[in-house]
Structure 1
């Protein structure tokens, strides 16, 4: 009865915190988990899933060449993926297959869209294939629900062009509501 879960939210909503809590809960019950994070995201060190609350833990890293199959994940009771927006379409299909053919629940956490409002490929495929989709909520500075992101420069000015992914100082992004995305 395993399935593919997608938990999405704007930045600073607690996605990594929830992932780490789920890992703890499984292990507290004597169950095995396999954690992955994107190789591209080295903000907290390679292979580290870290919450802004100060909790962190090591994880395997995935990149474009990673295959998600039973040989890769091993004999586990759950697979947890952080930064799932960086998955490729085929990787999402592999995770979906793990859940349904091998009965291993897969819970992926990530962003839906980038700073231009464009979908990340991994998120688009997760929205298409996941059987259980949940939005984790956070708020915009104006008090509305934040669902989008702005990238800002060193002077606090909004950037409207650039590469889709720019890893680094988290202060370069703001989680915003749709109104502030279009007017801010």
Structure 2
């Protein structure tokens, strides 16, 4: 049975690199895949998935209005797909996540979605929340905080490198705007009182 996988991590953990490696593995075995990239992410060339280590691959851009199921079924009818892969899956709408689940359940096409779990405030993205709720397999890709602990949070920085606690959920940026931290250092950077101190 085809499954919906959600590979999640903090910023700079290698999500796109993992996706591109998986796509390469399928291609090496002569299996067709379809890759999707978030249209909102304009850091690199449109219609591509680009990793920080320099790997790239062409991809179909998606936004909130994209009917992913229709795109996949049209392509699948021409060239049977072994797998669908989605980069920046946090930008999916909950309805699009449901479309991907139906592709697994009805069409028998596995879907691998890669994305952030939480935003710069520590809140779930709607797409990630839906993936966490219904994906068949949840896989954490590990990253490291500056202290050596596992990084699970994404701290947003302003132009002067100061932590930002307010603003729009989505603001595209790389290492110049975000840093992955463990929960302790994320909380300290935002000047929030740890829960244990607040209770004491």
| Counterpart-to-counterpart distance in 1, 2:89 and 2:173 | 17
- Partner residue in 2 for 1:64: 64
- Following TM superposition, the consecutive aligned residue runs of length 4 or more in structure 1 with deviations greater than 3 angstroms are none
Q: Which has the larger radius of gyration?
A: 2
Q: Which residue of 2 aligns with 1:93?
A: 98
Q: What does residue 76 of structure 1 align with?
A: 81
Query: For 1:39 and 1:131, how far apart are their aligned partners in 2?
Result: 26
Q: How far did residue 171 of structure 1 move?
A: 1.4
Shift of 1:73: 4.3
What CA distance in whole angstroms lies between the structure 2 residues aligned with 1:132 and 1:94? 16
Asked if 1:165 corresponds to 2:167, the answer is no
Aligned to 2:26: 26
Is the 8 Å Cα contact of residues 73 and 79 (structure 1) preserved in structure 2? no
Counterpart of 1:105 (choices 102, 106, 110) is 110
The residue aligned with 1:45 is: 45
Instruction: Give, in whole Å, the separation in 1 of the partners of 2:173 and 2:133.
Output: 29
Q: What is the rounded CA distance, in whole Å, between the counterparts of 1:158 and 1:17 in structure 2?
A: 27
* Alignment TM-score, normalising by the size of structure 1: 0.97
Contact persistence 1:7–1:136 (CA under 8 A): yes
Q: Which runs of 5+ in 1 are unaligned?
A: none
* Matched positions, count: 184
Q: TM-score, normalised to structure 2's length?
A: 0.89
Note if contact 1:17-1:51 (Cα within 8 Å) is conserved in structure 2. yes
DSSP 3-state at the match of 1:141: coil
Say whether 1:132 aligns with 2:134.
no
Structure 2 gap segments, 5+ residues each: 190-200
Q: CA RMSD in A?
A: 1.0
**2:124 corresponds to:** 119
Of 28-37 and 155-164, more deviation after overlay is shown by 155-164
Q: Which moved more, 1:72-81 or 1:148-157?
A: 72-81
1:176 corresponds to: 181
Distance 1:61 1:83 in 2: 11
